[in-house]
Amino acid sequence: MRFWFLAFPLSLCAAVQMQVDLRNPIYKNGHLYTNEGGVITNKEMRIQAQEIDYVNTNGIHKIFAKGDLLIQFNGRAYIGSELEYDFDQKAGIINNGKTFSSIWYVGGDQIFLNPDGSYKVSNAFITTCENIDSSWDIHANCLNVFKNDLIEANKVRFRLYRVPALWLPSFKANLHKFKEPILHYGINWDKGQGPRATARYRLYSWSDFELYGRVDYRLSTGWGGALETKYAPTGYPTRFTSRSYLSTDRLETAPDKMFRYRLQGLFNTASDNGNTTVDVSWDKYSDVRMPSDFPSDDFEVNTAQKTIFYLRTQQDQFISSLKVRPRFNAFESIKQDLPTAYLAIHPQVLGKTGIYSDSVVKASYLNFQYSTQLEHNLASYNSPRVELRQKFTRPVHLGPVSITPQIGGVGIFYGTSPSSTPKALALLSYAARAQTRASRDYARYKHQIEPYLEFTGLSTPTVSPNDHYIFTIQDGYHQINQLQGGIRNLFFSKKRKGKGPSFSADLFANAFFADFTIPQLIPRIYLDLNWNLPSVHFSVRSCWNFWNQVLDYTNARLQWTINENIAFALEGRYRSQYDWRKADHDNFILDVTRTESELLLSPLSDRRATILTHFFIRPTPFWECHIQSHHGFYRENEKPYNEVKVDLYTWINSALKLRISYSHLDLDDRVTAGISLYRK
């Protein structure tokens, strides 16, 4: 039997249509009652229960329901033992209620429904466990859940297997922001420092801000703690992360230092159009071993241990930047930018000549500071530095051949020098590149061949490298005449359009003219190979040294994803004593400035062979294993080393993840076990 009513709430003075569908109801004194089940709906909610008492009389418009109770209200579902709902106030109470928010189950003794869709829970719990007896939960005397899934609670207890793990007077969180572990317990045991226990908690999460606390205890040296913050506003290109650690974890080599610390952070923001960006990072630590003594994947901010301010803007006509990099740690040897300003004008066509003009201006005050261990033997130095680079290019097309000649100059002014006098360096640069391209289609592949020839030259600088300061490789100018010629082959799969070549091979060599430090016209030949298939990637970079008749270097890497459960990577690296350790491997100014005998006696000559492995396997849906290894040998004055790390992961239940790790380093062995609470 179905009944239709029109209810007239005095407070709203508007008609609200209500659909009442009850089985075998009884009507008496304004009460419509059934204990055989029914459903009541309007445009805002739906109530389903075994026993329903619908009241609409004498200004009272309510419903009382219990037994197999299900409520759908403002886009959320609730269950419970009993419901009392006032249609005039658009509010209700659910006894022994439960609901969900994001991936969370929320419940308590009573749930108070508010008209705007928010609700309040007394004697509440939050968990991600599906079982009635959850392995973990958060208990609170009172919990408020707002419409955007922000929660606010007081007198909070975190429990693991019903054992209290943490008590907090209050707790705020965004239920959609739980991407990192909510709780993390870990035990580390390394050979050098002994056992260490650590615990990490999410203390606060509200809107776009998160706060973590960390407690660390090492049996041999005492306590440590950390505070971590994260701010990532939705819809804005701004990110802020900071992590600060303080401990009494003293070094065995420096027992007099009572405290050790690390302060690190990262801030990024951008303009609305993305043309202007600001990046700030800082990393201050008490001693050089601090970053490696406290290794933790969830504690790194990826500052690269740099403290730097970098402002960059890109417009249609130019690119400019401002960089400030001071030294925060006295035990570092670094070049300080105090500051450096940079301006690059986009290439401009000079009238109808077809000649492109490219200009760069760079002004700095640079201060190279040696570490405290070296400053007694090496003097630090500083100087204002202004650099101007100008070049002109004019592309020329001769049928299928493209030729691009280039001429320009470099000028650098140093405010002081080793002789305590200013220096003005100037030189002429000239270059030309010729290339062509041919292709042919086959049934499954397209073959493309690209021969090229490039000449690069610099005149003799007006100031010798020994007479001005060398801050970076950008100061290392010397006369060079280099010709590089090669041929590149590319194969494109027609089944993988737009995904780059499936195979590429680049064979090339360099010739040096009038450079007496290089004993042969063509000292080396290079070969770079790459195979890029859907599940396999293989690359080889190698070089043969004609003069010394040795393999100068070879780096080979194989990556293979067999399926979703098995993948591995294998990499081999070899470097001979004649392959110099350079920041830019394709820059040969060093080779033409210093003789081979000088370089062999320097740290730039470092023969070695290295093998790197990485293996992943998931034997079952709940177990994962990562194995990584690092093996080094064939070094001149150092013993071989073998380092291995094994990580074993398993899900204890839907939210608790256990990690057991073993790492063997050259000077240490470490065992780590940790349990983390995730949203799965």
pLDDT of 391 strictly over 90: yes
| pLDDT at residue number 300 | 62
- Of 133-147, 315-329, 434-448, the one with minimum mean pLDDT is 133-147
Q: How far is CA 100 from the centre of its chain?
A: 31
> Is a pLDDT exceeding 80 seen at residue 207?
no
Q: According to the model, what pLDDT value does residue 220 have?
A: 67
Given a cut of 70, whether residue 78 has pLDDT beyond it is: yes
* Alpha-carbon 659 to chain mean position: 21
CA distance 319 to 311: 11
Q: What was the pLDDT predicted at 183?
A: 62
Quickly state the pLDDT bin for 677 (edges 50, 70, 90): low
Phi, psi of 145 (to 5 degrees): -115, 115
**Predicted pLDDT at 93:** 94
pLDDT at 189 (0 to 100): 67
Query: When comparing pLDDT for 110 and 7, which is higher?
Result: 110
pLDDT band at 256; cut points 50, 70, 90: low
pLDDT at 53: 93
* pLDDT over 50 (residue 517): yes
| Residue 8: band (very low, low, confident or very high) from pLDDT cuts 50, 70, 90 | very low
Q: What is the pLDDT of residue 297?
A: 58
pTM for the structure as a whole:
0.74
Scan for tokens 């293989």, then name that residue: 538
Catalogue the E-assigned strands of 315-380: 318-325, 334-349, 356-369
75 pLDDT higher than 60? yes
The answer, yes or no, to whether residue 26 has pLDDT greater than 50, is yes
Q: Would you mind telling me the total number of residues written for the chain in this entry?
A: 680
Q: What are phi and psi of 465, to 5 degrees?
A: -55, -25
Q: Looking at 43-47, 164-168, 260-264, which range is the least confident one?
A: 164-168
Task: Average the pLDDT over each of 202-216, 263-277, 563-577 and give the range with the smallest value.
Answer: 202-216
Q: Give me the DSSP letters along 481-492.
A: EEEEEEEEEEEE
399-407: long-range contacts at Cβ-Cβ below 8 A with a sequence spacing of 24 or more? 400/436, 400/437, 400/438, 401/434, 401/435, 401/436, 402/434, 402/435, 402/436, 403/432, 403/433, 403/434, 404/432, 404/433, 404/434, 405/431, 405/432, 406/430, 406/431, 406/432, 406/433, 407/431
Q: What integer pLDDT is reported at residue 298 of this predicted model?
A: 57
Cα maximum dimension of the chain: 113
Q: Do residues 454 and 481 lie in contact, with contact meaning Cβ atoms separated by under 8 Å?
A: no
**In the predicted model, is pLDDT for residue 279 greater than 50?**
yes
Residue 216 is predicted with a pLDDT of 79
Q: What is the pLDDT of residue 12?
A: 32
pLDDT in tens, 150-159: 788 888 887 7
Per the prediction, the chain carries an average pLDDT of 86
Question: In b/e form, how buried is each residue of 131-162, taking b as 16+ CB within 10 angstroms?
Answer: eeebbbbbbbebbbbbeeebbbbeebbbbbee
Q: What is the mean pLDDT of residues 637-649?
A: 91
CB 446 within 8 A of CB 494: yes
- SS3 sequence of 645-667: EEEEEEECCCCEEEEEEEEECCC
Question: For 56-60, 84-88, 252-256, which range has the lowest pLDDT when averaged over its residues?
Answer: 252-256
Q: What is the mean pLDDT of residues 633-652?
A: 89
Q: pLDDT higher for 678 or 412?
A: 412
- The candidate with the shortest Cα–Cα distance to 464, out of 408, 425, 430, 419, is 425
- Which residues have C-beta within 8 Å of that of residue 278, sequence separation ≥ 6? 267, 268, 269, 270, 309, 310, 311, 312
Percent of the chain at pLDDT > 70 equals: 89
462-478: burial string, b at 16+ Cβ within 10 Å, e else: ebebeebbebeeebebb
R_g of the chain, CA atoms, integer Å: 35
> What's the confidence (pLDDT) of residue 11?
32
Query: What is the band of 505 on the pLDDT scale with cuts at 50, 70, 90?
Result: very high
CA atoms within 13 A on the CB side of 157: 11
- Between 433 and 287, the more confident residue is 433
Lowest-pLDDT range of 87-101, 249-263, 370-384, 419-433:
249-263
pLDDT for residue 422: 95
